[in-house]
Amino acid sequence: MIYCVEDDSNIRDLMLYALQAAGYEAAGFEESGPFWEALRESLPDLILLDIMLPEEDGLSILKKLRSAQATAEIPVIMATAKGSEYDKVIGLDLGADDYLVKPFGMLEMVARIKAVLRRTSPVTQSAVLTAGPISLDPAKHTVLVDGNPIPLTLKEFDILRLLLEHPGQVFSRAQLLEKAWGIDYAGETRTVDVHIGTLRTKLGDAGRLITTVRGVGYKLEVPDDK
Amino acid sequence: MIYCVEDDSNIRDLMLYALQAAGYEAAGFEESGPFWEALRESLPDLILLDIMLPEEDGLSILKKLRSAQATAEIPVIMATAKGSEYDKVIGLDLGADDYLVKPFGMLEMVARIKAVLRRTSPVTQSAVLTAGPISLDPAKHTVLVDGNPIPLTLKEFDILRLLLEHPGQVFSRAQLLEKAWGIDYAGETRTVDVHIGTLRTKLGDAGRLITTVRGVGYKLEVPDDK
DNA sequence: TATCTATGTAAAATCCATGTAAAACCTGCC
DNA sequence: GGCAGGTTTTACATGGATTTTACATAGATA
């Protein structure tokens, strides 16, 4: 789902049409009010944000988006009629993921959206993560091994997701704790080991992909059969 | 390190100057030949690529970069004078990470570089260490010799990393102990020798790169085959 | 050459990280 | 309150990693 915040109804309709033609779900907003409401309902995969808006300025919207935990990771593409370099720099510094200068073609817009989604998807997106026989859908919160659903608890899921997001990378127990639990734990704990253990048995044969690097931590072996 | 491939020497110098002023290391290339050579030497953190080049087209360079294992993950920003939308679409579809339309300001260029690096660095930044046939990836905790993975234990890995980080430099046993073990050991110990020994045999032929400096310690011979 | 010291290396001894089962502890829910 | 997961702690066995030991060997020194 893509949210478009754009006050000019002609342009907005054109954008929505092009997006839908390209296979995306899209919703348009004329001003910030309804946009914020919609955000409370559900989060989009990407936001197209005009800089010049009647009520609230696009840059300040971007700032708010970035400062809130829930929306900080949503990719944002800014659009503006003003060609001024200054705006771009500000927008990029605030963390916009890309920039479109009006007038822009719909082809370019779709291409940029595609590119941004491709870049961000491994981190943010609900794009399904896979490694060998394992596939994990963050949005649905499901894990399949060889197509069979595997019920996992929250922590198990979080750990597996982290490993799948960075295949091959070694994570120390401390890192796993920090990433999956949020807070960094000081003392020593065996809880990670236990979760890894249950994960491995639950995943069955595929559990072997989770390997332990002695003295360091755990990692997901990337299967090189392709 | 940022590589700039741009045939116009004025623009190239300007870019290099702006990059260095912004605190980046940067190297410029007028055409693709020397650029490919430099890539064999060492991989940059980002590549700025002009589309219009005398010999090899920027888009085809991008394609090659993406298809090679070693360079596939390096972020690329394309630059072009042609404002044609078509080029952009192609560039983005081939996996460019961003796009600059000439004439662009240096401020914007730096801002975009910053933005791209911010997006990609947490994932890419693996800083693989290499020396001759040996390559070591700290993040994955893997060592390859001529492309074949070599299983190493923690201490072996730590020692090898230290040596690779300072090629040619001699380390005393005490230094190795301190760096790889953390605490400085008082008495005398042969444990370093043993680890060096296993390292050498595990590395096979490449093990000869680890030489002993009699009465002092060990060092990694830097292969001068280039 | 004879001698002395530093290094290589195999094998034994020790240590300690990890796997795992089970108990204890939470937390939301009826 | 009590139940049903889920999560964390505890405890212990095990095997791999590390260290020590012992001896052979190569280099240095005179």
Q: What local confidence, expressed as pLDDT, does residue A85 receive?
A: 58
B139-144 long-range contacts, CB within 8 A, separation 24+: B139/A168, B139/A169, B139/A170, B140/A168, B140/A169, B140/A170, B140/A219, B141/A170, B141/A213, B141/A216, B141/A219, B142/A168
Tell if the CB–CB gap between A215 and B140 is shorter than 8 Å. no
Q: Does the reported pTM lie above 0.95?
A: no
CA A4 – CA A16 distance, rounded (Å): 8
Chain B residues with beta carbon closer than 8 angstroms to that of A89:
107-108, 111
Ramachandran assignment for A196, one of left (phi > 0), alpha (psi -120 to 50 degrees), beta (any other): alpha
**How do beta strands A98-101 and A129-131 pair?**
unpaired
CA A19 – CA A22 distance, rounded (Å): 5
pLDDT greater than 50 at residue B100: yes
Give the number of other CB atoms < 10 A from CB of residue B129.
Answer: 17
Shortest Cα distance from A93 to chain B (angstroms)? 7
Average pLDDT rounded to a whole number, residues B187-203: 90
> Which run of H or E residues covers position A11?
helix A9-21
Identity at B110, one-letter amino acid code: V
A-B contacts at Cβ under 8 angstroms: 67
Which residues lie below 8 Å from residue A95, measured CB to CB, with a gap of 6+? A62, A66, A76, B115, B118
Closest CA to B7 of B25, B33, B46: B33
pLDDT greater than 50 at residue B125: no
- Chain C positions with a protein C-beta closer than 7 Å: 6-11, 17-22
Strand, helix or coil for residue A92:
helix
pLDDT band at B196 (very low <50, low <70, confident <90, very high): very high
pLDDT band at B226 (very low <50, low <70, confident <90, very high): very low
CB-based contact A28:A60 (threshold 8 Å):
no
Q: How does pLDDT run along chain A (226 residues), one tens digit per residue?
A: 899 998 888 888 888 888 888 878 888 888 877 787 777 666 788 999 888 787 777 778 887 777 665 577 788 888 876 555 555 656 566 677 777 777 777 878 888 888 788 766 554 445 678 888 998 988 788 899 988 888 899 889 989 988 998 888 899 998 888 778 766 666 678 999 999 999 999 998 989 999 999 999 999 988 664 3
Residues in chain B: 226
